[in-house]
Structure 1
Amino acid sequence: MDSAVLVVTTMPLSKTARAELSEMLGPGYTVVDIRSAPDSANIVLTPVVSGNALGILRGMFPKARILYTELQDDERGISFAGPLARIVALEPDGYFVAHSLDALTPIVQTEAKLQLTGSTRRTPLTLSLDSAPAAPPDLTPAAPRDSASGVRQGSASSVTRQERSVEDDESGACTVRWIDRATSPAPKGRWLDLAPIDALVVTLVGTDEPRRDILWPALVAECVVRLAESAPADILVDVAGLDPKIRAELQIRIESEQLDHAPWPE
């Protein structure tokens, strides 16, 4: 319905899970998969991705609020862990992102009091604002975002948010390179053979357009991961003519595996 708040999920949730989320949100909300989402979406839920992929999502859904989402629901068999979940699993006593010394000061003072009293309580990883009085919501256009991090420039808040997990040991790691073979010269590297993937999607799904099905980027990403584990040479993936939503899904999956990749070709 026209009045519904449209929520888009980029992670591959089942139809049942999306329907349950819609029901939990209540009347006026509709949850859809990225493949069928119009550009008028209000909310986009996505795993942690790079600034490049975030820019793609902003281009696809220019009016939406895009939320990095780490989702773990053991009962429903859903697991989309991310950098913050990995940090929490290490059980630090607290995790803070302070955008100024002024914001850091009360954090350190509070934690010092806990330490001096012998407390072993961990500080929840929640939003931590500066001590300034709360102001009415600012409805003016948002400040420009830093394209690399997605953080609004000039923000004065301290947010307990993980930018990225500690860099993986990438000595000898490969880079995934997206190549339009029809228009671009190929750099050195190993081509990922897409023909068997196309054939498998055709067989499993019964479609005559395998590269428009959500299974295709999932299989491509899995094959890229396996190739990356086998040898350090760059992996070349032909992305000529891909639908923008399949392109975004492919990038999200590659980035969720924390594989180094080149920018998408213009």
Structure 2
Amino acid sequence: MQARIDVSRLPAELVALIDRLRPGDELVLTRDGHDIATISGTGGAPEDVVPTATDDDYGGVTVVATAMKLSASARSALSAQLGPDYIVLDMHKAPRTADVLLVPPSSPQLIGSLRGLYPKARVVIAEIEDRELGISYQGPIRRMLAAGAETYLMSSTIPVLARQLEAVTRQTELTGGTTTRLVIEAGPAED
């Protein structure tokens, strides 16, 4: 069952709590000490609640918002590696007009919620393991490669898959039978 309540009918302090919910956050409602309902954050808070920064705050650089928990030093290191034309911010401090949203492997529902928060951003899913910075966001692809898969192909059509498979088999022939892990990105969609 799905019921809807217009928040304008709720007490202001409850609406304020709901507005502060981020994707993945929950507000548990109780009665006599027992949980009776949960409100989950979907990123649908009004624009004036979060985020508050604007494009003007960043002087035309590419803004990368991170939806993964990264320390300030990790965000700073990523920003430094990208160079002066980029700035990397926690998603809660980034403008809604961020150019890129960096997300760990997540559910389609969470990706959709984040897309609603940052409608102009290119959503980029990243699996990362940086022990020096204490970061570990492993997903299914990294686990499959660790289990012994050699290559991950993301094919949009059979012709693209055929070209990718040819490239993989030719790569093995050129290296004299030795294999190296190779990830081939999907080419442009064909009609």
- Please give the TM-score of this superposition, normalised by the length of structure 2: 0.60
1:93-112 equivalence runs, <5 A: 93-112=150-169
Task: Give 3-state SS (helix, strand or coil) of 1:44's partner.
Answer: strand
Q: 143, 159, 183: which is aligned to 1:125?
A: 183
The percent identity for this pair of structures is 33
Give the 3 Å change call, closer, same or farther, for CA 10–109 of structure 1 in structure 2.
closer
Q: 72, 75, 91: which is aligned to 1:15?
A: 72
Q: 86, 105, 117: which is aligned to 1:29?
A: 86
Task: Give 3-state SS (helix, strand or coil) of 2:63's partner.
Answer: strand
Structure 2 match to 1:238: none
What is the letter of the counterpart of residue 185 of structure 2? L
Task: Give 3-state SS (helix, strand or coil) of 2:75's partner.
Answer: helix
Q: 61, 64, 68: which is aligned to 1:4?
A: 61
1:169-184 equivalence runs, <5 A: none
Q: 70, 82, 89: which is aligned to 2:127?
A: 70
Residue 190 of structure 2 is aligned to residue 156 of structure 1: yes
Higher strand proportion (structure 1 or 2): 2
Give the 3 Å change call, closer, same or farther, for CA 39–119 of structure 1 in structure 2.
same
2 CA distance for matches of 1:27 and 1:81? 28
Q: Deviations over 1:87-137 (max 9, x none)?
A: 11012232323332222323444555547x97141340132537xxxxxxx
Give the 3 Å change call, closer, same or farther, for CA 74–62 of structure 1 in structure 2.
same
Let me know the Cα RMSD of the aligned residues.
Answer: 2.5
Q: Deviations over 1:227-256 (max 9, x none)?
A: xxxxxxxxxxxxxxxxxxxxxxxxxxxxxx
What is the letter of the counterpart of residue 122 of structure 2? R
Task: Give 3-state SS (helix, strand or coil) of 1:125's partner.
Answer: strand
Asked if 1 retains the 8 angstrom alpha-carbon contact of 2:156 and 2:187, the reply is no
2 CA distance for matches of 1:31 and 1:95? 28
Task: Give 3-state SS (helix, strand or coil) of 1:63's partner.
Answer: coil
Unaligned runs of 5+ in 1: 131-154, 158-266
Aligned length, in residue pairs: 132
TM-superposed deviation, 1:9? 0.6
Q: 25, 39, 48: which is aligned to 2:96?
A: 39
Unaligned runs of 5+ in 2: 1-57
1 CA distance for matches of 2:147 and 2:168? 18
What is the letter of the counterpart of residue 25 of structure 1? L
Residue 88 of structure 2 is aligned to residue 54 of structure 1: no
Asked if 2 retains the 8 angstrom alpha-carbon contact of 1:92 and 1:122, the reply is no
If asked which structure has higher relative contact order (CA below 8 Å, sep 6+), I would say 1
Which consecutive aligned stretches of 4+ in structure 1 deviate over 6 angstroms post-superposition? none
Give the 3 Å change call, closer, same or farther, for CA 4–109 of structure 1 in structure 2.
closer
TM-superposed deviation, 1:5? 1.5
TM-superposed deviation, 1:57? 1.0
- Please give the TM-score of this superposition, normalised by the length of structure 1: 0.44
TM-superposed deviation, 1:4? 2.1
